[in-house]
Structure 1
Amino acid sequence: MSSNSISGQFAQAIVAMSTNTLPADVVEKAKLRILDSLTTAVAAHGLAVPGVAAALVGENHGKSTIIGQQQRVPAIDAAWVNATLVNGRSQDDFLCKSHPGAIAVPAALAIAEQEGGSGADFIAAVVAGYEITGRVYLGGPGMLPKFRATGVAGTIGAAAAAARMLALDAERTRHALGCAAVFASGFGAGFLSGTMEVKLNVGMACRNGVSAALLAQAGATASDLAFEGEAGFYLAMAGTTDHASAATQDLGERYLLGDTVYKEYPVCIFVQTPMTLAREIAHLYPLHVDRIERVTVQVCELTYTNPGFTNVAPFTSALRARVSARFCVAAALLGKPIDEHDFYACVDDPDVLALAARIDLVLDPQSVDTVRVAVEHGGHTLALTGIEGETLRPSREKVIAKYRRLTSEILGPKTETVLRQILDLEHLPHLHDLMGSLRGAGTPLAQR
């Protein structure tokens, strides 16, 4: 059965995706997105949130891998924990206000192992996950800042990736997307408090999306008008269906995966550009912290209203600091090791706190994506302006360098083997060797 509804059009596009029909540049970019996601997952070992997630899995057994662990578990459990690993360092990629790598890669990977699947099918499933995550947001941008896009749009993206990996037909894929739309949830209170539920939400979004696809495979049904209907997703999450047509505009012709941005620093995406500008100012000018009178960070409304962007001291947890423009810009201006994940545990750094108190955040109602950082220093104003995300485009060289930097100590001699396997994914008949290299590359999660 075909349908011209949003979920029907999504389903038809998902079923049609394959490495034989996708543009070659999309396939290459998808492999880099997979590499970047697995990079952050491997590097997240030792963090608290994945350990809490693993506690829910317990001694469950199945065919899918939790990255870094010997235990193999059911697909929904692997998707759940691996999503928290990918997102754990706050260094995973970003598209249309969501973290699609943390959703699409674990969902497709879990099903690929449970059901058996080739590297080529895995790539197509990941592309489907990115595409649908982004398009769901475009159809209802008003979901922000009320809801967290990764928890909401990402649940549906995970269902798309899992459905493609399960090779569901268009009708069952449509049902999977509709079920996922009902399962979608998540908001940003934890970014204000610095608590971990916002991180666990990413794992739950992935788990719920995979569950939706498996339920559709088992015969579950969902409304054909799950998105645009009078009691559907967009009215519930965005309050309107006015933008719903944008969800399917150019579907199958333009692939959103190419718009994905990459994170160099392990902090919120909305502070990456202000930090980059602040770091450039510190490199260009010999700053003396006692001569900095004020710092002004001017941003657009969507950035300013992101939960946690305006956080002030006390920074009671590393997460609360990672999303704070004041903390992160102060650290960048002071030349602190902002590339290092462990630095952000230093929430009581007196120099950072003193400068953060002199930072003003200003909303520019005329701006769509402009960021300006101005430092009043010794009677002069030193300022730089940039476009949100323009320095965050992921080149092949950047992604590979990040992979080696973050994983070489953990993977050891397997580092280059894993890299070659991922860059040659479309030619792998199955993922056993790749997952064998990633299995056990860490410490037991449940013991943390």
Structure 2
Amino acid sequence: MNITKEQIDNLNAVVKVEISKEDYQEKVDKILKDYRKQANIPGFRKGQVPMGLIKKQYGKAVLVDEVNKLLQDNLNKYLTEEKLDVLGNPLPKQQENFDWDSENLDFEFELGLAPNFDVQLKTKKAVTQYKIVADKKMIDEQVERIQKQYGKLVSKTEVGKNDEVTGTFVNEAEEIEHKTTIELSKVKSKKATDALVGKKVGETATVSTKGLFKEDYLLPSALGISADKAEKLNIEVNFTIEEINEREPAALDQELFDKLFGKDNVKSEKELKSRIKEDSEKQFEQQSDQKLLNDVTEKLIDETKFELPAEFLKKWIQISGEKLLTDDEAKEEFEKSEKGLRYQLIEGKIIQENDLQVQFDELKEFAKGFIKSQMAQYGHMDPKEEELENIATRVLGNQDEVKRLSEQLMSQKLLDLYKEKANLKVKEVSYDDFIKEAYS
């Protein structure tokens, strides 16, 4: 067997593979002999079928199969040994009137080669790194929510503007009959508020569903209907009151602090606000980090210029899927995937040049941290090391989980690298301003 490469240009090459009869004949003969031993053909005893008949019936198929295996194994070996960085897979060139009976078989494969390029982490234009701070307004609102959540309900006889009212919404025509509890502070419609305030248990208020609540997601749950149905609903519903309560805020005392953070970890309202600020900003950091990762990615794609073997990739896309695509479909798919391919190449270059690797020990530690944070969400704040070790071992026994966690850990390594070496400008913003700037 002989394999040679013809370089067409920097991004395209053709590999030629010459296979002689000696490369495959011994294997083909062995397979045909095995076929002969097992063949059941009318008129012949098992194992006594003439070899000529076996060759006539199975010879071509076995030959093609063995040659294809030879091609695949040796072509992959050649690409590895020659360190050719190919995009997609080699594409066999069509050969008219190919003669499988020839002593020597010649094949040609088109290659699309990855481009050579440099990546500059210090981009020309700086990328904004948002530092989200919890401002006084946000902290005060969180304190208010905590007091409300841990407060006690005081029964009332008449609805007030800040009360919680339990009752049943009814509209027979729309088949709505649903018991729920609503907070009047979340009612947007002034007409609805006026209709409810002053009502007593057993009385009914009629309200319109259009613009009823300040947040759209509240309407479907209040009426017991789907979000799709609620989206365009504009009807009147009757709300019959069954219970009226005022939520008396919890006192900001040691009993509440211990309930929230454990005994004596927080001892004053000032410490409470400081802890809320710290915890909130930790959560915000995840969002700002994701935004930074996305923005650096976009900037690198924009500023790192290189050509791709576009025509080769379109041909490869055209034939590599479950069904053959038309030229226009292949072009459309290439245009949709080009940006992602460019970043894969850029990311691969960054990982290689900065020797970023995911080792198993650090993957296990990363998994433990992930597990610990999940357990904390369910109130398990201090799991034992043995417990974390056992759960992490089980998780890492699943290859899909290993892949997912490895990708997350590599993203974290890239983020740390960008924070160290990329051209960044830090900007402090409130959470509301971050949302406006980042997602406007």
Instruction: Name the one with the larger strand percent.
Output: 2
Kindly name which structure, 1 or 2, has the bigger radius of gyration based on alpha carbons.
2
Larger RCO: 1 or 2 (CA < 8 Å, sep 6+): 1
Relative to the length of structure 1, the TM-score reads: 0.20
Instruction: Name the one with the larger helix percent.
Output: 1
Relative to the length of structure 2, the TM-score reads: 0.20
